[in-house]
Amino acid sequence: MSLGIPVALLSPLLFLIGAALALRSPGRRPGSLPRVAEGLALGALGAAVAGLVQFMAAGTTGVSLGSGALQVALKLDVIGTTMTLLVAFVGWVVVRYARTYLDGESREGAFHGLLMATLAAVLVLVQAGSLLTLVAGFVAVGLGLRNLLLFYPERPAARRAAAKFTLVWSAGDVVLMLGFVLIGWSLGTADLAGLKTSAADGLSATAHVGVALVVLAAALKTATFPVHGWLTEVMEAPTPVSALLHAGIINAGGLLLIRLSDLVQASPGAMGALVMLGGLTALFGATVMLTQSAVKTALAWSTVAQMGFMLLQCGLGLWPLALLHIVAHALYKAHAFLSSGDAVEAVAAQRRPGPVAVPGGAAVARSFAVAVLLYAVVAGAFGLLVGPKSAQALALGVILIFGVAYLVAQGLADAAPRALTQRTAVAAAMAAVAYFAFHILAGALWGGALPKAPSPGPLEWALIVLALFSFGLVAVAQTLFPLWAHHPATVGLRVHLANGLYLNAVLDRLIGGFRIARTQ
């Protein structure tokens, strides 16, 4: 690690200054504070950009205090620089949006203070260079988000969401601490760079247990099945909080796995668990999302599915793609939440759509065959140009193409016009090209800092086949849904799915969230 001090360390410092100023004026219309907060957020973004320039010129930089298990370290490598830019950019956008959104609220100043303090904590988390700093970042982020979820403490639903978040996030903190103790004790270092070197010699039984605990902590942090309930209720907080979640908070579990990717990949059991849990969460979240009528609730369920898919990528060893997923999803979903009101107006302004071409069984079979054939042609072309991809990368691409097959089926329906057929075929080909192009881009940006996907063994092949079968089955069911949508059993299933199979209600009952105060 270079002795130079990272310029990007100014980013969390500027957010902390803004938080301190805001908390001195926590009430309504706190003077020029909102503009000052936006200016400091813009300065933090500028520091992040300067940090990128510094990294390109000098490589990894960092600072550290202490040694051993008590080492506190911050470093800006390619991963830390990427995440600092992401968090600072989304943070600036959210702070700017909140200036108008919260204008006139009775606790407007307090919201700006909590928002900027949480952003500072996230920046410390993404710049962490040691196990202790990672834990401290996770704890600080949890405290900040809990207070933001309780911005309207008089709302029972907000208190219930905050209670569930605190329960799940704190459990993740405890599990993470235990895992780090075992890893640090087994490998003899708490420095992230040192852990990467130690993992090259293999893991002891103690370290394997530690890695398993890290995977469990990551699952808790990303609101995976079945502890996803708090995420679907986050809209009880102001809309900027929903966008803030995607600036290194809900995807912090994925960042944790990427930071410790060499350790995680050295444990086949941990990788297998990520594939199964991530795949199940992705399928569950995507299926429930299709039954939601509220825009923000559908977006929350979409995030559940996306976080599951990110864990699946990690389990397959596609670490650069997982990091690209974090960046792309954060930008897209933050924008989606902040513009959700415009989406409602846009849909309401549209005329009722015309008849939709419903594909039959034969059209569905042809659509999947066409989509897979197009994918195979594109994969072969990229293989000739840049070399073959790993089995995991090819399998993940097939899963993505299953989603495109739904569009192709509409184009191949008997009642579909020729123009629709052509557009869907082009969309399928473009999706395949985009997947491999992004795969190359992610490898060029971050591949040198992350391990390559391992050669799949019997367990990995079994999990890949299971994932392909599961996603393919769901894709076929979705495509054929118009044919059996009006069956009484389907109506009942839709109700159960719309309620998330009542898993959230079970957690509500466990924490007493359904209790109603009795009046005398």
pLDDT in tens, 154-171: 888 888 888 888 999 999
Residue-level pLDDT at 313: 94
Query: Do 167 and 290 lie in a common domain?
Result: yes
Question: Please, are residues 7 and 50 in contact by the beta-carbon 8 Å criterion?
Answer: yes
Please tell me what DSSP assigns to residue 189.
-
- Look up the domain containing 30 and give its range: 1-129
Residue 487, helix vs strand vs coil? coil
Secondary structure percentages of the chain, helix, strand, coil, to 5: 75, 5, 20
Q: Is the pLDDT of residue 356 over 70?
A: no
Residue 217 reports pLDDT greater than 90 = yes
Which DSSP letter does residue 502 get?
Answer: G
Least confident of 156-170, 199-213, 498-512: 498-512
The DSSP bridge partners found for residue 128 are: 74
Q: Which of 14-28, 424-438, 459-473 has the lowest mean pLDDT?
A: 424-438
Q: Give the residue-averaged pLDDT of 211-238.
A: 87
Q: Which residue has the higher pLDDT, 351 or 169?
A: 169
pTM as predicted: 0.89
Count Cβ neighbours within 10 Å for each residue of 316-348 and write b for 16 or more, e otherwise: bbbbbbbbbbbbebbbebbebbbebeeeeeeee
Please report the pLDDT score of residue 321 as a whole number.
93
Using pLDDT thresholds of 50, 70 and 90, give the confidence band for residue 405.
confident
Reading the block at residue 497, the tokens are 């799915």
b/e per residue 445-482 (b: at least 16 CB within 10 A): bbbebbbebeebeeebeebbeebbebbbebbbebbbee
Look at residue 411 in the predicted model and tell me its pLDDT: 65
* Band (478; pLDDT cuts 50, 70, 90): confident
Q: Supply the DSSP symbol for 77.
A: -
In a domain, 138, yes or no: no
Establish if 152 belongs to a structural domain.
Answer: no
206 and 293 belong to one structural domain: yes
Domain count, the chain: 3
**311 and 233, same structural domain?**
yes
Same domain membership, residue 296 and residue 179: yes
Given this model, what pLDDT does residue 344 score?
56
Task: Verify that 516 and 472 share a domain, yes or no.
Answer: no
Backbone angles phi, psi at 247, to 5 degrees: -95, 60
Percent of the chain with pLDDT over 90: 33
Residue 145 lies in a domain: no
Percent of the chain with pLDDT over 70: 90
Give, to the nearest 10 degrees, the angle between helix 10-23 and helix 108-126: 160
Task: Please answer whether residues 211 and 181 qualify as being in contact, where contact means their C-beta atoms are separated by less than 8 angstroms.
Answer: no
The amino acid at residue 55 is F
Give the pLDDT confidence score for residue 517 in this predicted structure: 45
Please report which confidence band the pLDDT of residue 138 belongs to, taking 50, 70 and 90 as the band edges: very high
Token representation of residue 218 = 């990551």
- Residue 149 in this model has a pLDDT that exceeds 70: yes
DSSP H helix total and E strand total for the chain: 22, 2
Lowest mean pLDDT among 125-134, 174-183, 234-243, 485-494: 485-494
pLDDT band at 215 (very low <50, low <70, confident <90, very high): very high
239 Rama sector, left if φ>0, alpha if ψ -120 to 50, beta otherwise? alpha
**Cα dist from 282 to 121, 228, 235, 462, whole Å:** 28, 12, 21, 18
Asked, for residue 142, whether it belongs to a domain, the answer is no
Whether residues 472 and 492 fall in one domain: no
Question: Quick one: average pLDDT of 422-442?
Answer: 82
Q: How far apart are CA 86 and CA 334, in angstroms?
A: 11
Higher pLDDT: 177 or 60? It is 177
Q: In terms of domains, do 114 and 194 share one?
A: no
What is the band of 348 on the pLDDT scale with cuts at 50, 70, 90? low
Higher per-residue confidence, 57 vs 499:
57
Q: Is the pLDDT of residue 346 over 90?
A: no
Tell me how long the chain is: 520
Cα atoms found within 13 Å of the Cα of residue 154, Cβ hemisphere only: 0
Instruction: Give Dmax over CA atoms of the chain in angstroms.
Output: 78
Measure the CA–CA gap between 6 and 76, rounded to whole angstroms.
7
Residues 244 and 380 grouped into a single domain: no
Could you tell me which residues are beta bridge partners of residue 73?
A: 64
Instruction: Evaluate the omega torsion of the peptide bond into residue 26 and state whether it is cis, within 30 degrees of 0.
Output: no
| Same-domain check for residues 363 and 425 | yes
The yes-or-no verdict on residue 140 having pLDDT over 60 is yes
Domain-embedded: residue 11: yes
Least confident residue range of 55-64, 148-157, 336-345, 387-396: 336-345
| pLDDT tens readout for residues 244-303 | 888 888 999 999 999 999 999 999 999 999 999 999 999 998 888 878 777 778 888 888
- Give the integer Cα–Cα distance in Å for 196 and 263: 7
pLDDT digits (tens, 9 = 90+) for 267-280: 999 999 999 999 99
In a domain, residue 137? The reply is no
Q: Are residues 371 and 478 in the same domain?
A: yes
Contact at 8 Å (CB) between 32 and 89?
no
Above 90 in pLDDT, residue 497?
no
Do residue 203 and residue 296 come from a single domain?
yes
Mean residue pLDDT of the chain comes to 84
Q: Does the residue 211 lie in any domain? A: yes
- What is the rounded distance in angstroms from the CA atom of residue 319 to the CA atom of residue 82? 14
pLDDT at 93 over 70: yes
| pLDDT beyond 60 at 69 | yes
Q: Please report which confidence band the pLDDT of residue 369 belongs to, taking 50, 70 and 90 as the band edges.
A: confident
Q: Look at residue 519 in the predicted model and tell me its pLDDT.
A: 41
DSSP state of 451: P
Crossing angle of helices 131-149 and 156-187, rounded to 10°: 180
Q: Are residues 239 and 102 in the same domain?
A: no
SS3 of 62, please? Answer: strand
Asked if residue 495 is part of any domain, the answer here is yes
